[in-house]
């Protein structure tokens, strides 16, 4: 494989690549850059995640920008805000010595007013998400009439997120005489439709088409109950104190819930999902990139923009439905030639999906067990002891503080002091999930324990358990009879309660009808004492519930002193 200098890049670009440590181009870069530097044909680049696709289209795009022309000449579409920010950061870096080339990123979640203000200046390259770009086009803040290069990055994910109509709308604003560069990890049917409709005789480059998953990743899985997944995850985190990991969940709610649970257990963790504002997402990513966070819990969509080179582990809290998502997930680790581990936490019934991924991706999964508490303690004790041995003692420690500590600890022997320090360190471990009960699927199902008598005699069918011994048949018959008797008793109680409610409602209705007819009768009252007693009871209750009416003051007219009309009095409705 040659160097970047052999690809025909300018001195300004080569200087930047030397500063950031790019020595040799990757496979997709070596194949794509020469084609995109001079050619006018459309281009399709298919490569797995983490192979350097951003530099593959970013470097030739910057080289072909005409700085003297102030119009927008390059447009890069990304499915998520994080990926758009990642592309923008790399293009800012690549264009460090291209002073006259302007690059701008626009995406949802940020203030659109600031973006419109920035677009008033000449912007040669725009990196955008589809939704925000359409909004800016409708506001006439972006003009794509002189666009020369259109880049669709992660096109498969863009279509999976439902941006099909938005892509068609954006492409309708672009001129026909442009070059379209499409980069993706997979080639679904929807992308083929876009290629057929909007691209003209494209050049296609496939890199590692058969091996879609990075060979430096070790794939593992552990069978565990869903209720024990959090405890099992923390066991793996405790086993590697300096771990840097991303945990993938299926839903936003589960992502946030898991992050809060890990924070309660004193882990440096936070969540990244679509419900966060842009400022919150930027703050989380900044903490993760600066090693302030060890564990990032994210959804598939939000994690598309994660580009961290020192990730050691990827955990699949829930397996994805599509093997392409597993490729993108596991591709977050083992970047830049490093090693990585991908661990899936699966239930007993999900092992068939593991076998399907092995067949579809051409990889092999290794079954592992949840680390035991003793194993974790041994590893943590060794790391803790090594930390104390490597601790440097500064000369700035006050001598009086040393003397006070010696006085306080003088009664302890060396063995007692070591025991107390060790107990303090182990207490920190016990506050986490180290002593949680981890129940695997084998323990849940009983493993190799002896089956009950009815199970052995009926062939494992609980419905046919009465076919066993006579005692067992009588026992289950008695249980069913008792259950039916209790059900009938509860049903009778409900029936009596409904009957009493209907009787009470009937009494109230009779009293109300009798009271309403009290003033309509002119003949002699023939009601009995019981009826009068009922009426008196209802009327007294109505008087108690009726609020007291305030007397209205009469308004006296100013001219003649006669009482005027009360303005607060409601007008009588006319009868028609």
pLDDT in tens, 491-527: 666 677 767 666 666 666 666 666 555 544 444 555 5
What are residue 448's phi and psi, to 5 degrees?
-100, 20
In this structure, the answer to whether residues 300 and 327 fall within a common structural domain is: yes
Task: Give dist(CA 490, CA 493) in Å, integer.
Answer: 5
CATH code where residue 126 lies? 3.40.50.300
Virtual torsion, Cα 234, 324, 251, 348, nearest 10 deg? -60
In this structure, the answer to whether residues 313 and 361 fall within a common structural domain is: yes
Q: What is the DSSP letter of 467?
A: G
Selection from 430, 471, 428 nearest residue 453 by Cα: 471
User: In this structure, what token pair is assigned to residue 414?
Assistant: 């060396």
Domain termination site, one of 374, 393, 421: 374
Structural domains in the chain (count): 2
Q: How far does the chain reach from its first CA to its final CA, in angstroms?
A: 98
In this structure, the answer to whether residues 298 and 235 fall within a common structural domain is: yes
pLDDT value, residue 21: 85
Domain termination site, one of 177, 206, 235: 206
* Highest-confidence segment of 74-83, 158-167, 504-513: 74-83
120-125: long-range contacts, CB 8 A cutoff, minimum separation 24? 122/70, 122/71, 123/72, 124/65, 124/66, 124/67, 124/69, 124/70, 124/71, 124/72, 124/73, 124/74, 125/61, 125/62, 125/65, 125/72, 125/73, 125/74, 125/75, 125/76, 125/91, 125/101
In this structure, the answer to whether residues 148 and 297 fall within a common structural domain is: no
In this structure, the answer to whether residues 95 and 182 fall within a common structural domain is: yes
Q: What is the DSSP letter of 7?
A: G
pLDDT in tens, 116-144: 999 999 999 999 999 999 999 999 999 99
In the predicted structure, residue 360 carries a pLDDT above the cut 60? yes
What length does the chain have?
A: 576
What are residue 452's phi and psi, to 5 degrees?
-65, 165
Task: Please state, for a pLDDT cut of 70, what percent of the chain lies above it.
Answer: 73
pLDDT value, residue 379: 86
User: In this structure, what token pair is assigned to residue 196?
Assistant: 């057929």
Judge whether 266 lies within some domain: yes
Q: Tokens 């803790």 sit at which residue?
A: 384
Task: Give dist(CA 34, CA 203) in Å, integer.
Answer: 12
In this structure, the answer to whether residues 257 and 294 fall within a common structural domain is: yes
Judge whether 403 lies within some domain: no
In this structure, the number of other CB atoms found within 10 A of the CB of residue 312 comes to 16
In this structure, the answer to whether residues 87 and 177 fall within a common structural domain is: yes
In this structure, the answer to whether residues 131 and 181 fall within a common structural domain is: yes
Task: Give dist(CA 482, CA 271) in Å, integer.
Answer: 52
pLDDT value, residue 469: 47
In this structure, the number of other CB atoms found within 10 A of the CB of residue 536 comes to 12
Q: Mean pLDDT over residues 228-240, rounded?
A: 92
Judge whether 456 lies within some domain: no
pLDDT in tens, 7-63: 889 999 999 999 988 888 988 999 999 999 988 889 999 887 677 889 999 999 999
Between 162 and 142, the more confident residue is 142
pLDDT band at 198 (very low <50, low <70, confident <90, very high): confident
Between 493 and 6, the more confident residue is 6
Task: Please state, for a pLDDT cut of 90, what percent of the chain lies above it.
Answer: 36
Q: Mean pLDDT over residues 262-268, rounded?
A: 91
pLDDT in tens, 292-313: 999 999 988 766 667 777 889 9
In the predicted structure, residue 531 carries a pLDDT above the cut 60? yes
Q: Mean pLDDT over residues 214-237, rounded?
A: 91
pLDDT band at 207 (very low <50, low <70, confident <90, very high): confident
* Highest-confidence segment of 55-64, 149-158, 426-435: 55-64
Judge whether 544 lies within some domain: no
Domain termination site, one of 206, 226, 242: 206
In the predicted structure, residue 458 carries a pLDDT above the cut 50? no
Q: Mean pLDDT over residues 199-217, rounded?
A: 78
Judge whether 300 lies within some domain: yes
What are residue 250's phi and psi, to 5 degrees?
-85, -40
In the predicted structure, residue 443 carries a pLDDT above the cut 60? no
In this structure, the answer to whether residues 30 and 63 fall within a common structural domain is: yes
pLDDT value, residue 451: 47
Provide the residue range defining the domain that includes 311: 217-374
In the predicted structure, residue 232 carries a pLDDT above the cut 90? yes
pLDDT value, residue 433: 46
Selection from 171, 152, 174, 168 nearest residue 71 by Cα: 174
User: In this structure, what token pair is assigned to residue 525?
Assistant: 């009252």
* Highest-confidence segment of 70-79, 376-385, 392-401: 70-79
CA dist 389 → 300, 381, 383, 386, 503 (Å): 42, 12, 10, 5, 86
In this structure, the answer to whether residues 370 and 292 fall within a common structural domain is: yes
In this structure, the number of other CB atoms found within 10 A of the CB of residue 230 comes to 17
Q: Mean pLDDT over residues 387-397, rounded?
A: 86
User: In this structure, what token pair is assigned to residue 40?
Assistant: 């006018």
pLDDT value, residue 105: 95
CB 271 within 8 A of CB 297: yes
In this structure, the answer to whether residues 167 and 256 fall within a common structural domain is: no
Q: Mean pLDDT over residues 250-274, rounded?
A: 91
CB 5 within 8 A of CB 29: no
| 3-class SS of residue 345 | strand
In the predicted structure, residue 400 carries a pLDDT above the cut 50? yes
Judge whether 418 lies within some domain: no
Q: Tokens 């025909």 sit at which residue?
A: 8
- Please state, rounded to an integer, the average pLDDT across all residues of the chain: 80
Judge whether 423 lies within some domain: no
In this structure, the answer to whether residues 229 and 368 fall within a common structural domain is: yes
Beta strand 313-316 with 245-248 is parallel
Task: Give dist(CA 134, CA 421) in Å, integer.
Answer: 61
CB 238 within 8 A of CB 370: no
Judge whether 298 lies within some domain: yes
pLDDT band at 454 (very low <50, low <70, confident <90, very high): very low
Q: Mean pLDDT over residues 160-178, rounded?
A: 89
């Amino acid at each position: 494989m040659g160097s970047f200098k052999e690809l025909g890049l300018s001195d300004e670009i080569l200087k930047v690549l030397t500063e950031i440590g790019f020595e040799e181009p990757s496979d997709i870069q070596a194949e794509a850059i020469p084609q995109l530097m001079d050619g006018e044909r459309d281009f399709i680049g298919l490569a797995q995640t983490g192979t350097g696709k951003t530099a593959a289209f970013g470097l030739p795009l910057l080289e072909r920008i005409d700085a003297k022309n102030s119009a927008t000449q390059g447009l890069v579409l990304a499915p998520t805000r994080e990926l758009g920010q990642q592309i923008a950061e790399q293009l800012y870096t690549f264009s460090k010595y291209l002073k006259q080339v302007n690059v701008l990123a626009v995406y949802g979640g940020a203030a659109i007013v600031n973006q419109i203000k920035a677009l008033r200046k000449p912007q040669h390259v725009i990196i955008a998400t589809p939704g925000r770009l359409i909004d800016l086009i409708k506001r006439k803040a972006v003009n794509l009439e002189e666009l020369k290069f259109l880049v669709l990055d992660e096109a498969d994910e863009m279509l999976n997120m439902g941006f099909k109509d938005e892509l068609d709308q954006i492409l309708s604003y672009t001129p026909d005489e442009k070059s379209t560069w499409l980069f993706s990890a997979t080639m679904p049917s929807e992308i083929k439709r876009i290629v057929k409709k909007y691209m003209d005789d494209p050049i296609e480059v496939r890199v590692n088409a058969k091996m879609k998953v990075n060979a430096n990743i070790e794939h593992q899985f552990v069978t565990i109950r869903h209720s024990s997944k959090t405890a099992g995850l923390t066991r793996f985190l405790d086993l590697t104190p300096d771990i840097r990991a991303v945990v993938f969940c299926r839903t936003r709610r589960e992502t946030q819930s898991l992050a809060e649970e890990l924070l309660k257990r004193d882990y440096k963790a936070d969540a990244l999902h679509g419900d966060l504002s842009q400022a919150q997402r930027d703050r989380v990513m900044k903490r993760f990139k600066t090693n302030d966070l060890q564990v990032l819990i994210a959804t598939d969509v939000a994690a598309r923009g994660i580009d961290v080179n020192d990730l050691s582990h990827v955990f699949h809290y829930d397996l994805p439905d599509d093997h392409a998502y597993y490729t993108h997930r596991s591709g977050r680790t083992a970047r830049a030639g490093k090693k990585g581990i991908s661990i899936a936490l699966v239930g007993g019934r999900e092992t068939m999906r593991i076998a399907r991924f092995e067949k579809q991706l051409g990889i092999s999964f290794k079954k592992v067990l949840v680390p035991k508490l003793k194993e974790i303690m041994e590893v943590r004790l060794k790391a803790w002891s090594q930390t104390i041995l490597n601790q440097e003692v500064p000369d700035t420690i006050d001598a009086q503080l040393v003397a006070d500590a010696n006085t306080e600890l003088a009664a302890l022997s060396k063995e007692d002091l070591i025991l107390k320090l060790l107990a303090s360190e182990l207490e920190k471990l016990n506050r986490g999930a180290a002593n949680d009960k981890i129940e695997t699927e084998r323990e849940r199902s009983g493993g190799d324990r002896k089956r009950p008598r009815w199970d052995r005699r009926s062939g494992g069918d609980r419905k046919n358990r009465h076919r066993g011994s006579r005692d067992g048949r009588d026992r289950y018959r008695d249980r069913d009879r008792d259950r039916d008797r209790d059900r009938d008793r509860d049903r009778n109680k409900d029936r009596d309660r409904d009957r009493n409610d209907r009787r009470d409602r009937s009494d109230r209705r009779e009293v109300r009808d009798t009271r309403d007819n009290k003033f309509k009768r002119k003949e002699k009252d023939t009601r009995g004492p019981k009826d009068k007693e009922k009426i008196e009871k209802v009327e007294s209750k109505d008087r108690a519930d009726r609020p007291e009416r305030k007397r209205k003051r009469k308004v006296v007219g100013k001219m003649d002193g006669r009482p005027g009309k009360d303005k607060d009095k409601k007008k009588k409705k006319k009868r028609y």
